[in-house]
């Protein structure tokens, strides 16, 4: 049996170490460059200065080789994940490609991995986004001493942890990956970010995430004390180790996990780190942060909160639905008022995550299938939008909407990519997010018509912030300062083109992803539905059947 998941975790991890080593290694040419600089500073003359140039070219070539190696590792990981997905049995609801080995036997910790359909599509999402982010970021850090190779090593390290967190089938292992992801992201924002506030944004991200992680650690310990194991398969189900725990204890453990996941998602009112982090990030970092990393929060709600603590679900359904509705409307309203495009896209994601959490806690099959699908489609749509905004920023040096206008006349391909990504974000029929948003609204209506009507307001507001941003940046007369703005080059087209293609393909034919997701959702939606309150007094399960 091929250990697909272990390979998918190990490949980018090995790649990160290799690329980091390449970025730190010093060739003889690089040593010559350092000597020549010292001689030039001491007045070595013209001959000394001219000898610096070949060495500098050699150092640049070393950074290019390191980045090529990183890109190769990302493509190899994508190939492994695709090969695994082709072998996935879409008719099974349990975990597949499982591996379980003792890790720390004294404490009952295992290296246990396995995926269901929901985890699989999220791993696919990360595997697709990473090489595209590398293409988009290829020239971003050439002014740095490492030529950007260190940034690429951090991306690979983050990818290994993202695959690990979605594949973990041991609660303690999940926690380790959950916390370890903070390290590369912190440096990607604080060291390789943009603007004077990047260090502050990185620290804010770290503090929020660590606070949530520490609360979850207490809950993880509580799970082991109550259940006697960390293995997810032994803890869940009607005969699982947590099936008979006291309801009050289940409520507290649920809350410990939920707070950490709400911060990671993020939900209102613990969302404030996200706009700051997005504004201070390079576009590639923002793509991975919002497109994949934040999905760990919503994935955790679906996988751990609902399935580990079914007896506690009914106590949190309406509070979480209320927070979700606030996130939808609040995030959309704040997005309308933003002048910085990176912050605007970040606030749209707060609104979109409200849709996802609404779908999860509506506890109907349509809503949860839509929420799981939304996680993937949002990654494609927001990833494309962040990349296009990044291409604009790299040309103009500003993310302020007021600094643009009439871009479609001088860069029509860039403007077209911006439009498609924006329309996907507002849920235009024919593009992938529409399907997931529609499923969430149908399922939410079965749970509570009032909640569904309030959520629709978020769709209306989305049209306002997307179209208004497009109008102010792409249409109208072209200012003199933008007359020489270049259109997308071949590398940039290859970076954003596949995302736009996926938005169209899965908008017209989402069935392959739904086939993988549905069995896992059918299992999950049964958890707690018999006791969860619905708006009309019926249970959520009855509402879903109606």
DSSP string, 518-540: HHHHHHHHTTTTTT-B-TTSSBH
Spans of the chain, pLDDT less than 50 = 26-58, 530-531, 533-546
pLDDT digits (tens, 9 = 90+) for 447-461: 889 999 999 998 889
Cβ atoms within 10 Å, residue 46: 8
pLDDT digits (tens, 9 = 90+) for 186-206: 999 988 888 788 899 999 999
Would you state the pLDDT for residue 246? 83
> How far is Cα 55 from Cα 33, in angstroms, rounded to an integer?
5
| 3-class secondary-structure state, position 102 | strand
Q: CA Rg, the chain, in Å?
A: 24
Strand partners, 102: 110
For residues 447 and 544, the answer to whether their CB atoms sit within 8 Å is yes
Would you state the pLDDT for residue 235? 85
3-state secondary structure 284-326: HHHHHHHHHHCHHHHHHHHHHHHHHCHHHHHHHHHHHHHHHHH
Straight-line distance from the first to the last Cα atom of the chain, in angstroms, rounded to the nearest whole number: 43
Q: Which residue has the tokens 């924002």?
A: 189
Cβ atoms within 10 Å, residue 215: 17
Phi and psi based region of residue 228 (left: phi greater than 0; alpha: psi -120 to 50; beta: remaining): left
E runs forming strands in 13-78: none
> How far is Cα 76 from Cα 457, in angstroms, rounded to an integer?
43
Cα–Cα distances (Å) from 168 to 249, 277, 472, in that order, read 24, 27, 45
Which helix H or strand E contains 494, and what residues bound it?
Answer: helix 490-508
Would you state the pLDDT for residue 413? 93
> How far is Cα 155 from Cα 16, in angstroms, rounded to an integer?
8
Would you state the pLDDT for residue 529? 55
What residue ranges do the domains of the chain occupy? 4-545
pTM of the model: 0.88
Would you state the pLDDT for residue 241? 74
Cis omega before residue 269 (within 30°)? yes
pLDDT digits (tens, 9 = 90+) for 394-412: 888 888 888 888 888 889 9
Tokens, residue 366: 């349509």
> How far is Cα 405 from Cα 470, in angstroms, rounded to an integer?
9
């Amino acid at each position: 049996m091929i250990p697909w998941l272990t390979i998918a975790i190990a490949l980018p991890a090995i790649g990160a170490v290799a690329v980091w080593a390449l970025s730190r290694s010093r060739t003889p040419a690089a040593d010559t460059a350092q000597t020549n600089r010292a001689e030039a500073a001491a007045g070595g003359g013209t001959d000394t200065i001219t000898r610096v140039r070949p060495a500098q070219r050699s150092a640049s070539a070393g950074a290019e080789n390191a980045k090529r190696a990183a890109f190769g590792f990302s493509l190899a990981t994508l190939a492994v994940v695709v090969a695994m997905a082709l072998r996935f049995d879409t008719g099974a609801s349990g975990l597949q490609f499982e591996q379980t080995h003792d890790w720390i036997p004294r404490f009952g910790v295992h290296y246990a991995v396995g995926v269901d359909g929901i985890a699989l599509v999220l791993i696919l999402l990360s595997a697709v986004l990473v090489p595209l982010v590398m293409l988009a970021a290829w020239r971003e850090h050439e002014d740095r001493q490492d030529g950007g190779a260190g940034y690429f090593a951090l991306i690979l390290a983050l990818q290994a942890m993202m695959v690990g967190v979605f594949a973990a089938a041991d609660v303690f292992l999940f926690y380790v990956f959950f916390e370890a992801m903070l390290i590369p992201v912190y440096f990607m924002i604080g060291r390789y970010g943009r603007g004077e506030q990047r260090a502050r944004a990185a620290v804010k991200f770290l503090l929020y995430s660590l606070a949530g992680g520490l609360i979850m650690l207490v809950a993880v310990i509580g799970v082991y004390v109550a259940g006697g194991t960390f293995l997810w398969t032994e803890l869940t189900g009607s005969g699982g180790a947590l099936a008979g725990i006291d309801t009050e204890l289940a409520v507290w453990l649920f809350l410990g996990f939920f707070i950490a996941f709400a911060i990671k998602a993020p939900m209102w009112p613990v969302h404030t780190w996200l706009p700051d982090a997005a504004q201070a990030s390079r576009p590639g970092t923002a793509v991975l942060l919002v497109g994949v990393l934040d999905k760990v929060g919503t994935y955790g709600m679906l996988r751990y909160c609902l399935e580990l603590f079914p007896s506690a679900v009914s106590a949190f359904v309406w509070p979480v639905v209320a927070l979700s509705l606030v996130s939808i409307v609040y995030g959309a309203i704040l997005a309308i008022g933003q002048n910085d495009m990176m912050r605007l896209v970040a606030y749209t994601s707060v609104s979109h995550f409200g849709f996802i959490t609404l779908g999860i806690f509506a506890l109907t099959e349509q809503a949860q299938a839509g929420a799981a699908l939304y996680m993937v489609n949002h990654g494609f749509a927001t990833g494309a939008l962040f990349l296009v905004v990044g291409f604009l920023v790299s040309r103009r040096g500003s993310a302020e909407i007021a600094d643009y206008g009439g871009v479609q006349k001088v860069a029509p391909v860039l403007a077209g990519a911006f439009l498609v990504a924006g329309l996907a974000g507002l849920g235009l029929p024919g593009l992938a997010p529409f399907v997931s948003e529609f499923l969430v609204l149908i399922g939410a209506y079965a749970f509570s018509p009032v909640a569904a009507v309030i959520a629709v307001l978020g769709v209306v507001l989305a049209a306002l912030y997307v179209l208004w941003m497009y109008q102010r940046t792409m249409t109208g007369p072209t200012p003199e300062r933008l007359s020489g703005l270049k259109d997308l080059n071949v590398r940039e087209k290859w970076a954003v083109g596949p995302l736009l293609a996926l938005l169209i393909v899965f908008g017209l034919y989402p069935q392959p992803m739904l086939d993988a997701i549905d069995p896992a959702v059918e299992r999950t939606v049964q958890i707690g539905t018999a006791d969860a309150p619905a708006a009309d007094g019926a249970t959520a399960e009855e509402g879903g059947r109606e």
